[in-house]
Structure 1
Amino acid sequence: MEDQVELKRVFGDVYFRARRDQNTSIVYAHWYGSQAVETVKAGGYKFLEMIKEKPYRKLLNSNEHVIGSWDLALEWAQNEWAPQMRKAGLRYLAYVVPTTIYASMTMEMLIQRIDDEFEIRNKEADAEAWLLR
Structure 2
Amino acid sequence: MPTELINGFGKVYLTIEYDSVNHWVYNNWIGYQTYVGIIKGADECLYPLQENNCAYLLNDNRQVLGPWNHAVEWLVTQWAPRAMAQGLTHFAQVVSPESFAAQSAEAMYIGISDRFQMRMFGSITDAQAWLREEQRLTAQAQRKP
* TM-score (ref. length: structure 1): 0.92
Alpha-carbon offset, residue 9 of structure 1? 1.2
Alpha-carbon offset, residue 10 of structure 1? 2.5
Task: Give the equivalent residue in structure 1 for 2:32.
Answer: 34
Contact map agreement 2:96 2:122 (CA 8 A) in 1 = no
Moved more, 93-102 or 70-79: 93-102
Alpha-carbon offset, residue 101 of structure 1? 3.0
Residue correspondence of structure 1 range 13-92 to structure 2 within 5 A: 13-92=11-90
**More contact order relative to length (CA 8 Å, sep ≥ 6):** 1
- Structure 2: segments with no counterpart, 5+ residues: 134-145
Contact map agreement 2:97 2:122 (CA 8 A) in 1 = no
Change in Cα spacing, 1:65 to 1:100, as seen in structure 2 (3 Å) is farther
Residue correspondence of structure 1 range 74-113 to structure 2 within 5 A: 74-113=72-111
Task: Give the equivalent residue in structure 2 for 1:127.
Answer: 127
RMSD of aligned Cα (Å): 1.3
Letter in 2 for 1:28: Y
Alpha-carbon offset, residue 118 of structure 1? 1.4
Contact map agreement 1:67 1:100 (CA 8 A) in 2 = no
Alpha-carbon offset, residue 54 of structure 1? 2.1
The higher radius of gyration belongs to 2
* TM-score (ref. length: structure 2): 0.85
Letter in 1 for 2:48: M
